[in-house]
Chain A
Amino acid sequence: MTWLVWRQHRVQYLVGAALLAAFAVMIVVTGTQVSDQFHSAQAACAAGQPCQHLGGLFMGSRVVGFLVIATLGTPVLVGLFWGAPLVAAEAEAGTTQFAWMQSVTRKRWLAVKIGWMLLAAVIWGGVISALVTWWASPTNAEQLNQFDPGRFDIMGIVPVGYSVFAVALGVTAGALLRRTLPALAVTLAGFIAARVVITLWLRSHYISAVTTTYNVLGNFTPKGAYWQFASGVLGPNGQQLPQPNNTQYFDNIPQAYLPRACSEVTGPNGGNPTPACVQALSHFHAYLTYQPGDRFWAFQGIETAIFVVLAAALIAVTAVTLLRRDA
């Protein structure tokens, strides 16, 4: 069976491998430059020279930067080009009948075909993600944004889960619809829907967010690359103060709510508050709701597990469909 799978799908596999290789070359070449820039800038900082803000550092080339963001879409590619035609194209051409009338059970036929495709999906997602994670590590170190939606999704192990899910979705759509083109449409729509729903509504709830409250005059920044949900100021009675607009604020307190003792302090950030003002402000609290940066890998694991479980359920549907249905 493996021989036939390779013979049938070798073009797909080779195209995939070629794309991966091209991407790897680009990433490694530009990534080395980024890394060098980063380290020399860091060394300059350490030597006491004026520190360049590394966030503005030119990170590789614009094209590669765009490609790195575009790897958000790479998992669905394998769903479309590997997953969807896997059963659908054979059903369309009638070749399932050739395979199923050899001395091979349908179960084995499906297991071998899907097995190799899933392995290919793991390699695809894993290699792309490893390259992107490495390429982006200086940016991550500087901007601490790898937990943010959009960045989180192209690094670590989640791209592997997405790729496996995309292939399983494609295979299932193809097995149910038995035609490649509708299967492609369903795969694309289904993948986007699943990703959007899980990213927007589910991910933030994997573990309860942390809310830290601190003095309004104080400063609080969680360690590492945290994922921020909300911040604001609570008044003396613990009431939520409206978000100040740009022109009237004093340490995030709208002018209208500012204690009298602070009214002499003029203008945004103007002057130092008087002791009376500081005293009055002690009843105000700032808060920050966020996911701490050290949960990054826990979230990666949970999200990957969700997509792998979804993929397993889809494959079970495919198996039941193909084994029960008349050929």
Chain B
Amino acid sequence: MTLVIETSGLTKRYRKVTALNDCTITVPEGRISALIGPNGAGKTTLLRLLAGLSRPTAGQLSVNGGTPRQDPAFLADIGYLGQEIPLYRRLSAEDHIRAGAHLNPRWDSALVRERLTGLKIPRDRAVGKLSGGQRAQVALALVLAKQPRLLLLDEPVAALDPLARRNFLGVLADAVALGNLTVVMSSHLIADLERVCDHLIMVASSRVQLCGDIEELLDEHRVLTGPSKDITAIERSQRVVQATRTPRQTTLLVRLNGPVIDPAFQVSEVSLEELALAYLGEEVPPASAPARLTPVTPGGTTPPYPPEPSAVFGDDR
């Protein structure tokens, strides 16, 4: 299995802020990886590091088999689209298509033209005069025309309406199915990601919480529902990611270390959304503190229903 992305201990610090801390991930070839995490978690930083737009403070990274560098051959294999959708506002889509043809060894102008025609986006109008959604479509079509081996998309569908979103994700899935393309895209729309993604990278508070195949990750986690009682026994055998308590019931999201033997708990499968929310629900303990499980909200006060997720989880590593 070829790894398109491989990082170890990747860290990016700005003057005072650590944007990404000790990030170790792998993404195999041919995956569509969902990069999720709260705002400011370090998603953009990670994507920019992978694209070679910024350089890490510490750690190693390998993208398409090499370190990101200023080299036409390396750049030709990377497609990157930032959140701000950078296009020349006074230039038309057609101008961008022609620029791309001049600037890239592989470039499928026909693909962009066809796609924009299909979307009824005028190719001769200045990009700055298009709507935000249309601009995003132009930028997405352009980044696909480059025919990269790795596509890094930062919130690509944020500006699109639901129908356009579904359409674009379909196009993306087709492109991945057709050739040796790997995609990493960040988004807050888990339902959308669930449709096309088969790989997950979750970051929160500058750290990677989860990284792996979505199916495997879902397989490793379970929701346990049982009476409101002491959970120390379970904590000993399973890793409790999140615990929610009402006076009558305890709901635990656990990462399985072995079979759940306590008959008082009912075991059910977990959805991607539940998994994401469980991990993103709470701040990670500071990097200096030893990773350990903190006790559930003390006192067992009665939270309103549905309860706020009072979370407990340890460092993933």
Contact = CB atoms under 8 A, between A and B. Distances in A.
A98 B88 contact: yes
Nearest to A109: B103
B99 A4 contact: yes
B53 A327 contact: yes
Interface stretch (A99-107, A188-196, A203-211, A308-316): A99-107
Contacts of A99: 103
A326 B104 contact: no
From DSSP, what is the main secondary structure of chain B's interface residues? mixed
B72 interface: yes
Given A95-B86, A102-B75, A105-B71, A3 B102 contact: yes
A96 B105 CA distance: 19
B102 A8 contact: no
Contacts of A305: none
B195 interface: no
Contacts of A1: 102-103
A3 B102 CA distance: 7
Contacts of A326: 48, 53-55
Given A98-B88, A101-B78, A106 B70 contact: yes
Interface residues on A, range: 20 to 34
Nearest to A2: B102
Given A323-B70, A327-B53, A103 B88 contact: no
From DSSP, what is the main secondary structure of chain A's interface residues? helix
Interface in B78-113: 78-82, 84, 86-89, 91, 95-96, 98-100, 102-105
A103 B75 contact: yes
B76 interface: yes
A62 interface: no
Interface in B34-73: 48, 51, 53-55, 70-73
A103 B86 contact: no
A104 B100 CA distance: 10
A97 B82 contact: yes
Contacts of B96: 98
Interface of B: 48, 51, 53-55, 70-73, 75-76, 78-82, 84, 86-89, 91, 95-96, 98-100, 102-105, 143, 146
15 contacts: A7-B98, A8-B91, A93-B86, A93-B88, A94-B84, A95-B87, A97-B53, A101-B51, A101-B53, A101-B79, A101-B143, A103-B104, A103-B146, A104-B103, A326-B54
Interface of A: 1-4, 7-8, 93-107, 323, 326-327
Given A94-B82, A95-B87, 6 more contacts: A7-B99, A8-B91, A97-B86, A102-B100, A326-B48, A327-B54
